[in-house]
Amino acid sequence: MKKTSLAIEGMHCASCAINIEKQLNKTDGVKSASVNYGMSKAYVEYDEDAVAEDVIDEVITSAGDYRVVREGEHDDHMSHGKGPDKAYKKFLTALILTLPLLATMFFPDLMMKDGVMEGMAALTAVVVFVVGWQFHRGMFLQLKRFRADMDTLVSVGTLSAFIYSLYAMTIDGHVYFETAAVIVTLILLGKYLEEKSKGRASSAIKKLLELGVKKARVLVDGKEQEMDIEKIREGDILLVKAGEKIPLDGEILKGSSSVDESMLTGESIPIEKNMGDLVYGATINGAGVIEMKVTKTGENTVLAQIIQLVEQAQGSKAPIQKLADKVAGIFVPSVMVIALATFLIWMFVVGSGFESSIIYAVAVLVIACPCALGLATPTAIMVGSGKGAENGILIKESQSLEVAHKITAVMFDKTGTLTKGEPVVTDVNVFDDNLEKQELMTLACSLEAKSEHVLASAFNKHAKDLGLKTYETEGVKAIAGKGVEGKVNGKKIYLGNDKLIESLGVEKNNTHGDVFEDLADNGKTPMYVIEDKKVIGIVAVADVVRDEAKTAVKELTEQNIDVYMITGDHEKTAQAIAKQLGIKHVVANVMPDHKAEEVTKLQKSGSVVAFVGDGINDAPALAQADLGIAIGSGTDVAIEAGSIVLMQSNPQKVVDAIRLSRQTFKSIKQNLFFAFFYNTIAIPLAALGILSPIIAAAAMSLSSVSVVGNSLRIRRKRL
């Protein structure tokens, strides 16, 4: 079986994606197919012996007015920032042309002036047939396959209002040009809002690609040579200097350093790397100089795998099928049948004559025009997203609104999400009776002030916060994997872990060991402070929990939502943090691909999962989750991958975001229900001749006002 992803041009609504997906899954030799409208991509798994690639292309193109974009054109396709601009221009054009038509509603005397009626007809024709041509094209394509969708509904409504208005001009009857134009304008507004969310997945992937380096230093016969990353092969020896990004995955052959792997693990504390240790592309080398042997290149690197995971997870999401489209499949043909039946019954059974019969039939079609439907979703989204923005919550995708009210589990990334993501000094223990805490920390902070030690930032911040005046130091240097040493105020001072104690031959008593272990058990990183081979203190550093995290966990639990914490930290540290927060479910020692896997496991167990994260490493899990919530202070990639973005690093906002999403989606459901309910009541009245086209148009306007009013109620609700 072969898996492939195909970029597709020409999809303009969610039903397009569903249509293509259905046709692909019907094709012999295709095991599975998933089409993502947001990314404009099809993900196909197929048997190469049973079906050729060009056959798959043909199936896609024959499903409608679509085109498969091949590899050479891929970059252009990915950067489809023109989509929202084009949709906005269409909406703006329609709006500008429609506004003069609405003027006649407020100044009916204008209709009596020469040329006004003809001008209205001309403006409406441009809106309906030029600006709104996509709806008619969509209707024709669907009718060829004996199907109906939202495009069919829009096309039937606008054409009926326009054509009857032309007829009404000949008999001095009432015209409905503004009705046809308003329908197109409102629907184009909805299309613009949809188009804005398209391409975010591809943008996320592009940002991931930008993390990689373009060139690397290759050692050839001991000489340094700069080479393009694409030309480097497995087994090549690379030189990586201090502060540089590691070009590719590999093994350290010479040297030692601390490496910032936060883009992979999410953990803020750099990792000590020595000879024989593995390093990964796009991670950042610390102060040391290393020589490494390349073990993985191209699509086999960890970064490439993360990119693949993001893309696959996004593609695996079934496109949301709008409620309006679902109902339209039955509603549209039903309306057309009712309108035809209305005409025939009044014409031949009742004998009311052609003019009356056509008016009653048109009243049915006008009353069925989807003005309220066009407003139902975009108004709720606009009001909901506006309120969200005021409260630091950005709703990016309409899918999140439908998913939010079904959430049964929230999985939090630990570092930078539940915790602050930066190490701070938390504990100071003194074991020398002649030494004060402040003096101990002055010694430690002085040592770290000019140190390359991975935790130096915590000590530097501590000294700054307390206003400590550090001593002069000499010969300060890092001891790889153990700590740091140097002369402070004439004293030989060491700061480090158990390995440092052992290497120096320093004796530690039971008290020292108990304090050290107790701090480690509580999720902290303890370090011995040593003077002249004597332990004079223990200082602990930790990534501290955010103040709002405990409240957020409590509120989610009270809503019967299971709360999980996932982290690359050790089990002991993770459990200690979880205990502080009241979290029962903990997944520790996790790499990026495993985060997405853990989300998948929860989904397979029947949970509807929201994932909350801030780092690049969280992007696959954010994409895989039913609802991805990204912390805005995190990386751009995480923000792009998430469906909801929190502009503040406040876990409490997760609760608010879910609540707002539920409120917004509830409003959308109410709007759609009202729109369809209105039609089910009004259409029979129109068919019975109780409602004239004029009254039908007024009732249609009233339904639109009601939908807008219901959407505005979101603003008054508390989060």
Radius of gyration of the chain (CA): 33
Instruction: Give the number of other CB atoms < 10 A from CB of residue 145.
Output: 11
- Phi, psi at residue 610, to the nearest 5°? -105, 130
Q: Torsion-angle region of residue 223: left (phi > 0), alpha (psi -120 to 50) or beta?
A: beta
Q: Number of helices and strands (H, E) in the chain?
A: 26, 26
The two structure tokens encoding residue 162: 């326009």
Residue 215: C-alpha distances to residues 228, 231, 262, 470 (Å)? 4, 9, 22, 41
Number of alpha carbons in the 13 Å side-chain half-sphere of residue 666: 12
The owner of tokens 């074991």 is 431
Which contiguous run of DSSP H or E holds residue 223? Answer: strand 223-228
Fill in the DSSP letter of residue 292: E
Is the alpha carbon torsion for 348, 349, 351, 356 positive or negative? Answer: negative
Residues 6+ apart with CB under 8 A from 208: 303, 306, 307, 310, 616, 619, 637
- Phi, psi at residue 226, to the nearest 5°? -80, 135
Residues 6+ apart with CB under 8 A from 680: none
- To the query of whether residue 325 is one of the catalytic residues in this protein, the response is no
Say what angle helices 177-197 and 82-106 make with each other, to 10 degrees: 160
Number of alpha carbons in the 13 Å side-chain half-sphere of residue 348: 6
The two structure tokens encoding residue 97: 């042309």
Closest CA to 578 of 650, 616, 521, 617: 521
Q: Are the C-beta atoms of residues 247 and 281 closer than 8 Å to each other?
A: yes
Closest CA to 308 of 4, 88, 642, 581: 4
Please tell me which residue in 260, 413, 614, 656 is annotated as part of the active site. Answer: 413
How many residues make up the chain in this entry? 719
**With 0-12 CB in 10 A as exposed, 13-18 as middle and 19+ as buried, what is 291?**
middle
Fill in the DSSP letter of residue 648: S
The two structure tokens encoding residue 217: 């230093």
The two structure tokens encoding residue 63: 């499903």
Closest CA to 634 of 454, 415, 313, 397: 415
Triad 436, 438, 444: Cα angle to 5° = 105
The CA distance from 455 to 270, in Å, is 8
Q: What residue spans of 79-132 are helical by DSSP H? A: 82-106, 116-125
Give the residue numbers marked as catalytic. 413
